[in-house]
Amino acid sequence: MSLSRVIQRRPFAHDGFRRKAVPWIASPLQPSTKASREYTVTPGEDPKTAKRTNDPSLSERSSLADNELPRFRYHHESSTIELFYDLFLVANLTSFTADHEIINGQSLRNYVGFFTIVWFTWLETSLFDVRFATESVFTRICKAIAFAAMTGIAACGANYNTGEVSEHLRTFRSLSIILMISRLALAIQYIVVLLYVHKYPRTQAPLLATIAILLLSAIAFLGTFFAFNLNDESNEHNTSGSNSSGPPVYISHYIIVCVETIGVIAISCIWRSISFKKTHLVERIGLLTLIIMGEGIIGITKSISKILQNAANTAASVFGITISAVLLLYFVWILYFDQIDHDRFGTIRQQVWAILHFPLHTALILVSEGSATLILWKAIIRYLVEALAIQVQATDMNETLFRLDVESFINSSLTDIRQLPANDSSGRNDTIVGIRDDMFNLVFGAFGIEVNQEDTTWDPQLSIFDTVIFYYYLAAGVFVILLAVLYSFGKTNKSRGEWFSAVLRLVVGIGLCTTTPALVLRSDKSSTRGFVFSAWTVTVVMLVYFVLIILDNLLDWYADKKSSGQKPTYIEDTERSLEGEEDALVKQTNTDMAEQGETIRLRLVEISPADEADPRRVEDPQSSRS
């Protein structure tokens, strides 16, 4: 076989088509439709056989968007480049979680603060993509900038510590510049969209307002860059964190990202021309929820890997709490995705529903990380208890041997007992305590927990467990409460059973939230300590979610059985609205046809005298009718 037969030089493929080149820049608008494409449909007539009309009045009424509002190219699903952008969010969460485990209140604040910056940056980019994204070289360049911004944020996350701002001033200044560049890139993209819709005055105002918000955000981030104090190099080595200008500046990052997102969404609520109707915003938020669930699964598998690598044998309780954690995430998936109904989202409700996912995702990621930490702590507690048992046995044995030595000595040298020096056993006890401390160090170090060699109280290490217990049940309860709120916003014209489901979620969420103060108030009770050191810490939340799913499905089953043969309220309202629109369209069409007939009759009346004067101008009736 010759090489020329393998490498053919045909300009087109075998089917006659060649791959289209990516344009330099593309319009976000649909191809314009002319008035000649309008059809008149009489009641009962098949739309496929309807006749085309050139009536300008009907064309103006039926295609108002062509004259006043633009028609954007909406996508029904996420594009591959959007999914690729999601991977950078995954990398941010994974790397930051690996470098900053939640061990105390300060690390918890760092985690939530960094997650706030990453989440709102992702949302700002997605709010543009679901409405105006196109396939062009310009779009790919802007996406490359977004990828670089996410990568830069991940790099800043390695040293992100709001408790030691003065030590990491360059990190916070770099973060300000990265956030500024990402907002400028988004503003440029909105400007390009504005150039394409310059013929639509009603769309220019919301786009200009959105551009103004993004530019103001970029200026604000630039201001934070200069606000961080870098007076001298010695200030960087100040570990006290007493820099007065530090804390207010990093808090401004959170304020800016929240205000700009609320502003962009508020603009889309006021001006419906750039709303999120017919977009895949709900799908994008759902994919982000899956990503956060996946981050929780990664945390669980990491905990299991640490346990299996450092434990000679694993207790059954560790496997039990692991199974509970996996089932917990599975029940989270059921509770979240079973409540989404794409056909019942209102235009404004959909946008409020999207912004409410920030606290929901924050609670979800805390529940996931808390489950992973509790799995690890279950194995750590087992080895700590064994170390304490060894210390108790060694102390008892030391006291026994000491008594035997004294008795033997007294029996053999009773006459010289007054001349014996005082026997101090503190040295032996200190040795035993040192052995215990070394064992504790080995246990904590093996499971990846930093140990302060100078602190012999073990309070920093043991406080990790208290911190996790404190936020775990609170986050689990807040998650269910937010599910109730999202359930209410995501369904218009709710039935009685759906209201009961929302109230049920609310009650269960409040009950879980009250678990945290109950454990804190009864922390000195032996029963409470026995519970928090057992495998039931995760299992209880899992069982509560399972019972909630059962009750929710029972409510749905009862509502379906009770309303069998009856249409839901929202379907009746939709059909009634469609019937009203159809009647109005029929009446308007009949009116238009009557007006056209009257116009033709008047024209015939006007030309009748001329036709009588000149018989040659009388046309054939059939041709005149046509």
Are 511 and 593 in a shared domain? Answer: no
Q: What is the mean pLDDT of residues 332-339?
A: 90
pTM of the predicted protein model = 0.74
333/374 same-domain check: yes
Q: How many of the other CB atoms lie within 10 Å of CB of 51?
A: 9
What mean pLDDT comes out for the span 599-605?
A: 67
Does residue 621 register a pLDDT over 80?
A: no
Q: pLDDT confidence of 75, banded at 50, 70, 90?
A: confident
Q: How far is the C-alpha of 276 from the C-alpha of 346, rounded, in Å?
A: 10
Q: Are 190 and 128 in contact (CB under 8 A)?
A: yes
pLDDT at residue 420, rounded to an integer: 46
Q: Say yes or no: 546 and 584 in one domain.
A: no
For residues 11 and 227, the model is more confident at 227
- Residue 122's pLDDT is what? 96
Mean pLDDT of 545-574: 74
Of the listed ranges 112-116, 248-252, 310-314, the least confidently predicted one is: 310-314
Residue 391 and residue 538 in one domain: yes
Same domain? For 459 and 583 the reply is no
Q: Are 118 and 92 in contact (CB under 8 A)?
A: yes
Q: Report the C-alpha gap between 224 and 284 in whole angstroms.
A: 31
Residues ≥6 apart with Cβ < 8 Å to 74: 131, 278, 279, 280
Of all residues in the chain, the percent with pLDDT exceeding 70 is 64
210-227 confidence digits (pLDDT tens):
999 999 999 999 999 998
pLDDT at residue 60 in the model: 40
How far apart are the C-alpha atoms of 176 and 183, rounded to whole Å?
Answer: 11
When pLDDT is averaged across residues 302-316 and rounded to a whole number, the result is 77
Q: What is the DSSP letter of 72?
A: B
Residue 143 has which token pair? 């996406």
CA distance 385 to 181: 53
- State the pLDDT at residue 45: 47
DSSP-derived secondary structure letter, 540:
H
Torsion of CA 485, 490, 491, 494, to 10 degrees: 0
- pLDDT of 398 reads 46
Six-digit token pair at 419? 């001349």
Domain assignment of residue 131, yes or no: yes
Provide the pLDDT for residue 78: 87
The pLDDT of residue 238 is above 80 = no
Name the domain boundary from 518, 542, 566. Answer: 566
Say if 472 falls within a structural domain.
yes
Can you give the pLDDT at residue 543? 95
3-class SS of residue 52: strand
Residue 40 pairs with which residues in a beta bridge? 51
For residue 519, what pLDDT band results from cuts at 50, 70 and 90?
confident
Domains contained in the chain, number: 3
pLDDT for res 345 = 72
Residue 527: pLDDT over 90: no
Is pLDDT at 500 greater than 60 in this prediction?
yes
Half-sphere exposure of 508 (CA within 13 A, CB side): 27
Across 295-304, 305-314, 435-444, 516-525, least confident range: 435-444
Statement to judge: residues 164 and 176 lie in one domain: yes
| 8: its two tokens | 């053919």
Q: Tell me the mean pLDDT in the region 131-146.
A: 92
> CB atoms < 10 A from the CB of 564, how many?
7
Please tell me the predicted confidence (pLDDT) of residue 444. Answer: 57
Token pair 């390695």 is at which residue? 158
Asked if pLDDT for residue 439 goes beyond 60, the answer is no
Helix (H, G, I), strand (E, B) or coil at 535: coil
Collect all residues with Cβ–Cβ distance below 8 Å to 522 and sequence separation of at least 6.
528
pLDDT digits (tens, 9 = 90+) for 388-406: 554 444 444 444 444 444 4
Query: If you search the block for the tokens 């009864």, which residue do you land on?
Result: 522
Q: Are residues 266 and 363 in the same domain?
A: no
Query: pLDDT over 90 for what percent of the chain?
Result: 32
Asked, for residue 235, whether it belongs to a domain, the answer is no
Kindly report the average pLDDT of the chain as a whole number. Answer: 76
Q: pLDDT value at position 32?
A: 63
Query: Is there a single domain that holds both residue 206 and residue 217?
Result: yes
Lowest mean pLDDT among 75-79, 225-229, 265-269, 387-391: 387-391
Residues 555, 579 within the same domain = no
596 and 555 within one domain: no
DSSP 15: T
* 146 found inside a domain: yes
Banded pLDDT at 331 (limits 50, 70, 90): very high
| Per-residue tokens: 613 | 């004067």
Q: Rank 72-86, 235-249, 447-461 by mean pLDDT and report only the highest.
A: 72-86
In a domain, 379, yes or no: yes
Strands in 398-518 per DSSP E: none
**29 three-class SS:** strand
- Tell me which of 566, 589, 617 is where a domain ends: 566
Rounded to whole angstroms, the Cα distance separating 74 from 279 reads: 6
The pLDDT-based confidence of 544 (bands split at 50, 70, 90) is: very high
> What pLDDT score was predicted for residue 411?
47
pLDDT for 240: 41
What span, in angstroms and rounded, lies between the C-alpha atoms of 536 and 529?
A: 12
In a domain, 489, yes or no: yes
Identify whether 614 is part of a domain. Answer: yes
Between 156 and 313, where is the model more confident? 156
DSSP string, 151-197: HHHHHHHTT--GGGGGGGHHHHHHHHHHHHHHHHHHHHHHHHHHHHT
pLDDT at position 380 is 75
- The average pLDDT across 260-266 equals 94
* Dihedral pair phi/psi, residue 118, rounded to 5°: -65, -45
d(CA 100, CA 456): 23
Q: Read off the pLDDT of each residue in 86-90 and give the average, rounded to a whole number.
A: 92
479 contacts 367 by C-beta, under 8 angstroms: yes
- Whether 556 and 583 share a structural domain: no
pLDDT band at 338, cuts 50/70/90?
confident
Q: Is residue 33 part of a domain?
A: no
Q: What's the rounded mean pLDDT across residues 68-85?
A: 85
Residue-number span of the structural domain to which 388 is assigned: 323-347+356-414+423-566
Across 76-85, 355-364, 405-414, 555-564, least confident range? 405-414
Give the dihedral sign, CA 306/164/109/90. negative
Asked whether residue 191 carries a pLDDT value surpassing 70, the answer given is yes
pLDDT band at 569 (very low <50, low <70, confident <90, very high): low
Write out pLDDT tens, residues 170-189.
Answer: 999 999 999 999 999 999 99
**195 versus 523: which is more confidently predicted?**
195
The secondary structure of the chain in percent helix, strand, coil, rounded to multiples of 5, reads 75, 0, 25
Predicted confidence at residue 59, as pLDDT, reads 40
Minimum mean pLDDT range among 69-78, 117-126, 250-259, 429-438 = 429-438
Which of 19-23, 81-85, 571-575 is predicted least confidently?
571-575
Q: Do 542 and 397 have their domain in common?
A: yes
- CA distances to 319, 329, 452, 609 from 370, in Å: 16, 12, 23, 94
- Which of 566, 585, 614 is the endpoint of a domain? 566
Mean pLDDT of 344-358: 84
Asked whether the predicted pLDDT for residue 432 surpasses 60, the reply is no
> CA angle, 434 as apex, 430 and 439 as ends, to 5°?
150
Residue 16 DSSP symbol = S
